[in-house]
Amino acid sequence: MKNVGNANYVQIDYEIQTHENEGTTILPSPEAYRRFKWTKEYFNEKPKEGYFIWARKSSDRPLITRISISSKNVSQNPANLVVIEKDVKARIYSICNAVKKDLCGNHVGSSKIILKENSRLVMNHFHRWGKEDRVNSGLEIFLGNGSEISDVYKCLEVPMRLNMENNIYLEEGSSANLVMTILAKHGEVKMHDSTFLNGRGSRGISRIRMIGDEKSRIVAHSRMIANDAGTGHVDCMGLLLAEDSSINAIPELVNNNKDASLTHEASVGKISEEVLNYLRSRGLTEDQAIDLVVAGFLGEEDPIVIEGQVIPLKSYM
């Protein structure tokens, strides 16, 4: 198996390859489960596949994981565990995809991220699936005191069915900034994320960007729960591009502490005529104007840079 772009963990169908960075242990999860007894408290059960990343030293070099489906009727069940030690800074690019559109794959992934005291993680997930795939993913993030995470999830080609559940738990002085971007076309997406502000001074932001194109249905339920004096913001924005698409955005604020402050904003609609006419007055056709608004809505891609070299995302897909 060719290791493209020095990815640290590559799983294609069931075949696995790992490559360690200095100061970071990277193993298939079953091996980590065997070698490190302490991991048992984090894995819900004995893992069958998936990656284990244990960052003990800060590094400028990003870690890259890739889990791909490349054959028909593959069923993957990765259980991933990421542990960032105290005061360590890390960056991870996590890619999951089907290399063809008609593989009828099944991907059931669960990930757990542990950030110890004052650690920092920038995590970018890029997902791309085939029209007949089924995907279920669960993500849990535990933030220790003073730790920070920026977690960006982007899926611009959704499977037939995508279910996601994210739970984020914040301790004192920690912060989480989550951005989830979905472009759904010919697919059904259900997203459910909950951010628990469990420590004083914790800060949570959850932003969801959804685009509903032809024959798509998106339900996004985003909750911010304050159990201590933290601040939280939920932001759900949806753009409908087709008559046969629908978006159900449900922001929810639960405040159990009088010193906490929670806010939300939400909007779902089509691109306004006013915006389209304005862009047309700049010489763009209506289709060009729609493309530009959609591209802006989806946000720019953070390029993968390894030792100063920019590596196109598509080389991992």
Partner 1 sequence: MLEIDNLSVKVDEKNILKKINMEIKDGETHALLGPNASGKSTLVYTMMGFPNYKVTGGKIVFNGKDITDLPIEERTKLGIASAFQHPPSIKGLKLSKLLEKIGRRTIDTEKFSVGTDLLEREVNVNFSGGERKLSEIIQVIALNPNFVIFDELGAGLDVENLEKLSSLIKSELYDKSILLITHRGRILKFLKPNIAHVIIDGEIVCSSEDWKKTWETIRRYGYEKCRECELRSDRL
Contact residues for partner 1, defined by CB under 8 A: 209, 237, 272-275, 277-285, 288, 292-293, 295-299
Distance in Å, CB of 148 to partner 1, minimum? 23
**121 or 290, CB closer to partner 1?**
290
Q: Quick count: other Cβ atoms within 10 Å of Cβ 46?
A: 11
Tell me the CA distances in angstroms from 255 to 228, 235, 258, one per residue in order: 9, 17, 7
HSE value, Cβ hemisphere, 13 Å, CA-based, for 34? 7
Distance in Å, CB of 153 to partner 1, minimum? 16
Tell me the CA distances in angstroms from 261 to 142, 181, 197, 232, one per residue in order: 21, 25, 10, 6
Distance in Å, CB of 187 to partner 1, minimum? 22
**15 or 291, CB closer to partner 1?**
291
Distance in Å, CB of 290 to partner 1, minimum? 12
Contact 81, 52 (CB under 8 A): yes
CA 66 to chain centre: 13
275 phi and psi angles, rounded to 5 deg? -65, -45
Distance in Å, CB of 200 to partner 1, minimum? 30
**112 or 209, CB closer to partner 1?**
209
Q: Is 8 helix (H, G, I), strand (E, B) or coil?
A: coil
Which amino acid appears at position 65 of this protein?
Answer: T
41 phi and psi angles, rounded to 5 deg? -70, -15
Structure tokens at 184: 């759904």
Distance in Å, CB of 294 to partner 1, minimum? 9
β-bridge partners, 58: none
**2 or 282, CB closer to partner 1?**
282
Alpha-carbon Rg for the chain in angstroms: 20
**102 or 269, CB closer to partner 1?**
269
For the purposes of burial, counting CB atoms within 10 Å of the CB of 174, is it exposed (0-12), middle (13-18) or buried (19 or more)?
buried
**104 or 275, CB closer to partner 1?**
275
**73 or 288, CB closer to partner 1?**
288
Contact 151, 123 (CB under 8 A): yes
Distance in Å, CB of 91 to partner 1, minimum? 22
Distance in Å, CB of 298 to partner 1, minimum? 7
Widest CA span in the chain: 64
**73 or 277, CB closer to partner 1?**
277
